[in-house]
A and B are shown apart, each in its own frame.
Chain A
Amino acid sequence: MGFYSDSNYKVRKDLDKVHENQFKNLGEPGSWGSGAQRIAIASQVREACYEKGIQERPGHSSNHDDTILPDVAKSLINKLSTSPKDFLQDSYTEAIDGGLTNEEYVEIVGIVSRVTDMDIFARGIGVELRPLPEPKDGLPARDRPLEAKQELAWVPTIPSHPEGGKLAEDLFGTGHKAYIMRALSLVPNENRMHMELENIQYLPVKNILIADYQHHDGLSRAQSEVVAGRISAFNECFF
């Protein structure tokens, strides 16, 4: 049975599997957060979206210990979940001055972005939000990549290959890569998860320059770009 087998609309099998695995991943210990903290982040995303009326509360409950997150993390999650267009450098500075490290910050941004993504997909196809997994025990890996350095984003990033070394090649491939492909690379696993969704939901990145490449049934590249552009305009995303 598929992850979205209750959908009235056909969901491609590879996307179904990727989302199922991404949900499982949320409950596992991450690079800087425990499984319980990561599920608390995902739950906080949902609470913020229910509060704003941009998601519907599902029939199942997703209880979490909201005391596990500091107020500075909740504030970051609430703002980025519900109003990305208002998220400016002072929001980042507030989070760092409030005690989050850059590594913790990037992991939170990654989780907020992935949960928002998969929840909006569920809303789009008209199914309830998927239940969040039970958190798994274990310690975060705390594996800061030595290759990461301060480039032009607020947060450190791994430079494109060859400067970023073997890890850059593993994460992004060779040659110069745009910041959107490297933005979360301070936490390599979050960058991998982001790009996994990118490849399955938008199109395989290797095909991005093929103007008429069609990835989804019945939806031309031009039609996909109408949707992509409209969403990014709504979120006032300049990139």
Chain B
Amino acid sequence: MDIGVPGGRELLDFSDALVGDDRKTLDAARIALANSIGEETIAGAAAVAANFTKNDRIANGCGIPTEPMVLKATKEIRAELNLNGFRSAINSSRHFPDDM
């Protein structure tokens, strides 16, 4: 799959493996990513992934809504990717049903 970003497939595989339960798959994905876009990218990719595991827990743990401005701007892409189907969408839809 070509997602139009250099190393895109390897970044997706690394992200999946990082939150998965198979260490061998993660080790292989890390090597594949290093071979694809350089080993200097490993710490940065791990840092971004880890940061969003934090943000996701904070957002879902505190029940925060998405800002109306963002909801309005993302209506089409949310529908396309079925993001409104995420259970945590209720934290926004209960406040801003007209923007969903």
Q: Interface size of B by Cβ–Cβ distance < 8 Å? A: 61
Given known A56-B23, A234-B19, contact A7–B43 (CB-CB < 8 A): yes
Given the complex of chains A and B, what is the CA–CA distance between A218 and B66 in angstroms? 31
Contact B54 A54, beta carbon cutoff 8 Å:
no
Given known A113-B57, A217-B41, A218-B41, contact A201–B62 (CB-CB < 8 A): no
Contact A126 B30, beta carbon cutoff 8 Å:
yes
Other 11 A-B pairs with CB < 8 A, given A152-B95, A219-B48, A223-B8: A84-B61, A85-B87, A87-B88, A112-B57, A179-B62, A202-B52, A227-B11, A227-B48, A231-B18, A235-B56, A239-B59
Contact A123 B26, beta carbon cutoff 8 Å:
yes
Of A10-18, A58-66, A130-138, A139-147, the one with at least 4 CB within 8 A of chain B? A10-18
Cβ distance A123 to chain B, nearest Cβ, rounded Å: 6
Instruction: Specify which chain A residues have a CB less than 8 angstroms from the CB of B3 in the assembled complex.
Output: 226
Contact B41 A226, beta carbon cutoff 8 Å:
no
Contact A89 B63, beta carbon cutoff 8 Å:
yes
Q: Which residues of B contact A (CB under 8 A)?
A: 3, 5-8, 11-12, 14-16, 18-21, 23, 26-27, 30, 34, 37-67, 70, 83-84, 86-92, 95
Can you list 5 pairs linking A and B with CB atoms under 8 Å apart? A85-B88, A113-B53, A226-B3, A232-B56, A238-B83
Of A26-34, A114-122, A166-174, the one with at least 4 CB within 8 A of chain B? A114-122
Given known A11-B43, A112-B57, contact A238–B86 (CB-CB < 8 A): yes
Contact B44 A110, beta carbon cutoff 8 Å:
no
Given the complex of chains A and B, what is the CA–CA distance between A113 and B56 in angstroms? 8
- Is residue A94 within 8 Å, beta carbon to beta carbon, of the partner chain? no
Contact B87 A236, beta carbon cutoff 8 Å:
yes
